[in-house]
Amino acid sequence: MLFALDGGIDLKKAILSILVAMVLVVLIGSSMAVMPTKFPPSRDIAWPATMTYPNGYQESNRTFDFEQSVQGNGYFVTYLYAKAGNVAVKNYAHGSGSLNSEATLTYQNLDRSTHNVYSDYNDFAQDCIQFKEDVAMVYAPMKIAVGTGYYAANPLDYSSLLKEKTWVKNYLAGTSMHHEVEYAHALDKELEIVAKDKMNMTWDPELESVGYTQMKIVEDVTDGKAHIGVLQANENFLNTWADGDHPDKEYLDLVAKKSAWKNPSIEIDEDYWGTYHIEKNMTLEVPYHLVMKTEDWLPCCFGGYLTIPTGYLTNAGIKGAKGVFDCTCFKAPTVAEFPRTYPVV
């Protein structure tokens, strides 16, 4: 009781009550400062501390552009790897001899979340990687002097046949394309790769997604081995969402249990030994659209008890609460249950 016996206010108790209230506000505010989101399932979005659930807009758009031109003679090793969301590209090469190479890489990784109170939540993700290469290599054994010590007087002997390996994967669509040249004495190649994925989720939910993968090859291989492989999963990695209540759980369960190697819908495995001219243009596009409408929670709050869907009215739980919704259980009290008390003066 904050009132003193003389009718005034006990300042010590009043100040203590205010401090307790301030501590509670700070604790409640800190517990609501971060809202983790699981869409796409592989991305955890931590909202800024200044943004409180459920209002908010967040966007992250990472881009990268890379251009390269290399000419020379000697020994070389190159490695390139890029992953944006659900798409990834890798390129690796080594050999000794002459090299003339031009390459470009374009990368985008976009995440956008709009979570407003008075509109449907929306999560949007878009990723794209494009890699182009025009390369000519000719094998030759090389001796290279290194530094000014022992290896300057005793050059290192590099005699490595040519190898280049490139693969692209689209995890959203369950697509993989692979190309490799090894043990070659000469290689003249033009390569182009495009990998894209897009997911647009409106939380009723309605999901639209597409996974796009393309590999183009024009090459001449001299005295070597060329390998080309394509694998496409039998099912879209998202198509079991309709069987579950929560998309994130279904997605994670599916990724953990399924593999594209199990009954694939497309499987290509080619090997060529010798000298060949090869041209390939491979494109796989996997679109997906899911509509899974659900009734709003407690729809009677908007239109009244009589507007509740029939499926709800037949539910045993709703039947038991009928009197609460139509107010027939209410009875006006005739006697005050808790008599009013007055402060001691």
Taking the C-alpha atoms of residue 192 and residue 171, their distance in angstroms, rounded to an integer, is: 19
What SS3 state is found at 272? strand
Q: What's residue 289's pLDDT?
A: 85
Judge whether residue 110 has pLDDT over 70: yes
Judge whether residue 274 has pLDDT over 70: yes
Judge whether residue 295 has pLDDT over 80: no
Give per-residue pLDDT as tens, 180-198.
999 999 999 999 999 999 9
What SS3 state is found at 166? strand
CB-based contacts of 173: which residues, under 8 Å, 6+ apart? 197, 210, 211, 212, 213, 232, 233, 236, 237, 284, 285, 286
Q: What's residue 325's pLDDT?
A: 60
Judge whether residue 302 has pLDDT over 90: no
Contact 135, 187 (CB under 8 A): yes
Judge whether residue 10 has pLDDT over 80: no
Contact 168, 195 (CB under 8 A): yes
Q: How many CB atoms lie within 10 A of CB 265?
A: 13
**Nearest CA-CA partner of 135 in 224, 67, 74, 219:** 219
In terms of average pLDDT, the best of 174-178, 204-208, 254-258 is: 174-178
Report residue 144's pLDDT band, with 50, 70 and 90 as the boundaries: confident
Judge whether residue 123 has pLDDT over 50: yes
Give per-residue pLDDT as tens, 32-50.
333 333 333 334 334 344 4
Taking the C-alpha atoms of residue 199 and residue 237, their distance in angstroms, rounded to an integer, is: 13
Strands 122-139 and 175-184: unpaired
Q: What's residue 17's pLDDT?
A: 52
Judge whether residue 19 has pLDDT over 60: no
Give per-residue pLDDT as tens, 306-341.
566 665 666 555 555 566 666 666 666 677 666 666
Please compute the mean of the pLDDT values over residues 267-282 and round it to a whole number. Answer: 96
Give per-residue pLDDT as tens, 145-192.
888 888 888 888 889 999 999 999 998 888 999 999 999 999 999 999
What SS3 state is found at 250? helix
What is the Cα Rg of the chain in Å? 33
Range of lowest pLDDT (24-33, 93-102, 142-151, 291-300): 24-33
Mean pLDDT of the chain: 76
Q: What's residue 120's pLDDT?
A: 84
| pTM: predicted TM-score of the whole model, two decimal places | 0.67
Contact 176, 107 (CB under 8 A): no
Structure tokens at 23: 């501590």
Taking the C-alpha atoms of residue 137 and residue 140, their distance in angstroms, rounded to an integer, is: 10
Report residue 234's pLDDT band, with 50, 70 and 90 as the boundaries: confident
Please compute the mean of the pLDDT values over residues 255-262 and round it to a whole number. Answer: 55
Report residue 233's pLDDT band, with 50, 70 and 90 as the boundaries: confident
Q: What's residue 252's pLDDT?
A: 43
Q: Over pLDDT 70: what percentage of the chain?
A: 61
**Nearest CA-CA partner of 199 in 291, 100, 125:** 125
Give per-residue pLDDT as tens, 85-106.
999 999 999 999 999 999 999 9
Range of lowest pLDDT (42-51, 235-244, 253-262, 332-341): 42-51
Of all helices (H) and strands (E), which one includes residue 320? Answer: helix 316-320
